[in-house]
């Protein structure tokens, strides 16, 4: 489909620039109520999104639309002209599109790559229910998704990048019941590769959390609230905390004047009593669901230091806002964040 689109787009003088994103997602999905498999399905979905750009004087307008397999070339041309018209009403300061970078997208190291998606989903299911052994605790509902995603981006500046990634997630409802009372919690388990022992361990932990939640009592009854209480942040909560600093160092925050920090600022204040932060945005983190080697604009991603020993040292963000700030080669919208 992309070859047909690029031919049509390149031949239309009404367009100043264009970008095409094609995502093909194959999946195997299992839906359980208790330990009973209720639904077993497979999907194969292709999504093609086109963005066209129209220049007027020193302004650039853009408009996006989706292309479907049933559309003829005449349908596509008509859709393009509709969006050329719409782009004229959405003019912004001019910015160029990304150009090809010297980088190669590596093959996925996920062990799902060597399996059928059906077998991979079954392996995840076995690992999950291996933890469901408690007398008072159980999984009341479980949904498993294992996916293969092929993402290709092509633009009028010559960018042509393709990434094939694997992974999945499982939505769990761990429950604990006793004496006619019940507690349910929700947990999203994400994975890039399948480690059965690790999955079983994580599900077991969530069931134990459900048990602890069942036995929980008001803090005032078990702790002295007049003295400092130590808090442990885990996984998603710790990520949200670190994201506060990362979000402030986005190009768009600087451009819109909503940022607090500038490079050189001490982001934790002048008198740090704990560990100074060191944060970087990186394209790939083993096991991270948001790893990507290029962003939605087609920028090839590399490691971008943001904070070193508590001091802001860099920014990152979309190509558009980077160019607005005068950045020659914007870092791109790197999604994975690491704390060293």
Task: Return phi, psi of residue 39, to 5°.
Answer: -140, 135
Sign of the Cα torsion 231, 235, 237, 243 reads positive
Contacts of 167 (CB under 8 A, 6+ apart): 110, 112, 146, 147, 149, 190, 191, 192, 193, 289
Q: What are phi and psi of 54, to 5 degrees?
A: -125, 125
Q: What integer pLDDT is reported at residue 289 of this predicted model?
A: 67
Domains recognised in the chain with CATH numbers = 2-215 (3.30.2290.10), 235-339 (no CATH)
Task: Considering only the C-alpha atoms of the chain, give the largest distance between any 2 of them, rounded to a whole number of Å.
Answer: 74
Cα-Cα-Cα-Cα torsion 234, 239, 244, 245, nearest 10 degrees, comes to: 110
Which of helix, strand or coil describes residue 118?
helix
Give Cα 248 to chain centroid, integer Å. Answer: 18
pLDDT in tens, the chain (340 residues): 789 999 999 999 999 999 999 999 999 999 999 999 999 999 999 999 999 999 999 999 999 999 999 999 999 999 999 999 999 999 999 999 999 988 899 999 999 999 999 999 999 999 999 999 999 999 999 999 999 999 999 999 999 999 999 999 999 999 999 888 899 999 999 999 999 999 999 999 999 999 999 998 887 777 887 888 888 887 778 888 889 999 999 999 999 999 999 999 999 988 888 889 999 999 888 777 678 899 999 999 999 999 999 999 999 999 999 999 999 999 999 877 666 6
Q: How far apart are CA 289 and CA 190, in angstroms?
A: 7
């Amino acid at each position: 489909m992309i070859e047909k689109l690029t031919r049509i787009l390149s031949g239309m003088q009404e367009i100043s620039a264009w970008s095409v994103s094609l995502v093909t997602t194959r999946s195997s999905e299992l839906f359980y109520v208790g330990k009973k498999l209720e639904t077993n399905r497979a999907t194969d979905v292709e999504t093609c999104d086109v963005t066209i750009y129209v220049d007027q004087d020193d302004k650039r307008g853009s408009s996006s639309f989706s292309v479907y397999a049933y559309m003829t070339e005449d349908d596509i041309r008509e859709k393009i002209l509709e969006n050329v018209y719409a782009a004229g009403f959405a003019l912004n300061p001019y910015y160029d599109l990304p150009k090809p970078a010297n980088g190669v997208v590596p093959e996925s190291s996920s062990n799902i790559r060597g399996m059928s998606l059906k077998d991979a989903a079954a392996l995840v299911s076995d690992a999950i229910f291996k933890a469901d052994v408690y007398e008072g605790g159980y999984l009341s509902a479980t949904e498993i998704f294992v996916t293969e995603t092929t993402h290709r981006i092509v633009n009028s500046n010559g960018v042509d990048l393709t990434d094939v990634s694997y992974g999945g997630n499982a939505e769990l409802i761990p429950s604990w019941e006793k004496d006619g009372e019940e507690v349910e919690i929700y947990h999203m388990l994400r994975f890039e590769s399948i480690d059965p022992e690790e999955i079983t361990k994580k599900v077991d932990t969530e069931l134990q959390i459900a048990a602890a939640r069942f036995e929980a009592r008001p803090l005032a009854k078990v702790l002295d609230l007049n003295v400092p209480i130590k808090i442990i942040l885990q996984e998603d909560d710790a990520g949200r905390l670190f994201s506060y600093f990362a979000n402030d160092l986005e190009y768009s925050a600087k451009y819109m004047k909503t940022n607090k920090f500038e490079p050189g600022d001490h982001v934790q204040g002048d008198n740090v009593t704990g560990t100074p932060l060191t944060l970087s945005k990186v394209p790939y983190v083993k096991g991270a669901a948001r790893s990507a080697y290029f962003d939605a604009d087609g920028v090839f991603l590399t490691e971008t230091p943001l904070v070193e020993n508590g001091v802001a040292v860099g920014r990152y963000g979309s190509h558009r806002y980077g160019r607005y700030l005068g950045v020659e080669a914007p870092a791109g919208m790197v999604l994975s964040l690491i704390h060293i």
